[in-house]
Structure 1
């Protein structure tokens, strides 16, 4: 649900999963065949996992991090892992790179450039996200929702960002 001022988008679990299914349909309807899904942790892990199951393709994981300050709302320095975790040895062939959103586009631009320069066995690389913001300097190959007002997206699992083991013990009266 987008707030009236267009500054916040609240997404339920049902909406979130429906959007991932719509993303799968966009990829499928394009006719493009790929060998591996590479998701960017953490935001791309849930969509990557679901797409991996739908397409029955191996899931590789690359860790990136740029949102650090103010409970993850302020973008900081981008860190990209040096290694990719994959069940197939080395990532190769046609790869679908998955993240949750193209916000500024900085992360996707940096990862795509790094993969093209450092992973020669990748023969073709396409990108898929749920949301693309109007301010994004990166246009993914596949995207479900375009957000021209650039709202902050409140994803259904963000409550875990402020939940610690002590609060969990209190919640469950353990």
Structure 2
């Protein structure tokens, strides 16, 4: 089994990258009528770009794809259609990462089907194996990215896996720290996860 690599950017690091992303978009000369954040990873990035690009019209589109850390569903499905009227509009579609790229392909097609005049895509990260290269992005990485807005679900998923592998709570805590998660985040969220998983907590 291939050992997963992880990267856990902080809120400040993410914000800096989104500023860089907004500068790229501004320098391109592209103009947009609205922004659509692809749920759930694109919501926060879309909100930040709404501010940085001064675009007030913002909507959401949900596509379900991932099942668990390190695994993927077979195909993306639109579970919540775009929440704003995009007919005749130039749309900036936003997500956090283009991983396989299948969800972005689905999102672009959905927005076109809903009448968008044009769709441009922006993400923070791109995986080297993606089938969809966004029009704007900041960084290519082959690591599993632990975004700060998904700390609970990541800790819960990894903890469940590592418990099945026979690790103790202290070993799980050490692993979470070793992959770059902040100590204060791990120390506050791991006990909550253990309660939800009905696992005893042995502290340090």
Q: Return the TM-score normalized by structure 2.
A: 0.69
Shift of residue 12 of structure 1? 1.0
**Residue 10 of structure 1 corresponds to which residue in structure 2?**
8
Q: Any gaps of 5 or more consecutive residues in structure 2?
A: 157-187, 196-204
Cα deviation 1:112-140 (Å, max 9, x = unaligned)? 12322x122x1111000000110011011
Shift of residue 6 of structure 1? 8.7
What's the RMSD between the two structures over aligned residues? 2.3
139, 142, 159: which one aligns with 2:136: 142
92, 95, 99: which one aligns with 1:99: 95
**Residue 148 of structure 2 corresponds to which residue in structure 1?**
156
Q: Which has the larger radius of gyration?
A: 2
Cα deviation 1:2-47 (Å, max 9, x = unaligned)? xxx9922221111011111111111111010100001101000010
Question: Is residue 90–residue 119 contact of structure 2 (8 Å, CA) maintained in 1?
Answer: yes
Question: Is residue 32–residue 92 contact of structure 2 (8 Å, CA) maintained in 1?
Answer: yes
Higher relative contact order, structure no. (Cα contacts within 8 Å, ≥ 6 residues apart): 1
Question: Which secondary structure state, in structure 2, belongs to the residue aligned with residue 157 of structure 1?
Answer: helix
Quote the Cα distance in structure 1 between the aligned partners of 2:90 and 2:111.
12
How many residues of Structure 1 are paired with residues of Structure 2 in the alignment? 155
Question: Which secondary structure state, in structure 1, belongs to the residue aligned with residue 118 of structure 2?
Answer: strand
Q: How does 1:18-33 map to 2 (within 5 A)?
A: 18-33=16-31
Shift of residue 154 of structure 1? 1.5
Which structure has greater strand proportion? 1
Shift of residue 95 of structure 1? 0.3
Q: Verify: 1:111 aligned to 2:121, yes or no.
A: no
57, 70, 86: which one aligns with 1:73: 70
Question: Is residue 63–residue 80 contact of structure 2 (8 Å, CA) maintained in 1?
Answer: no
Cα deviation 1:64-84 (Å, max 9, x = unaligned)? 111123xx4311142213522
**Residue 50 of structure 1 corresponds to which residue in structure 2?**
48
Q: Return the TM-score normalized by structure 1.
A: 0.80
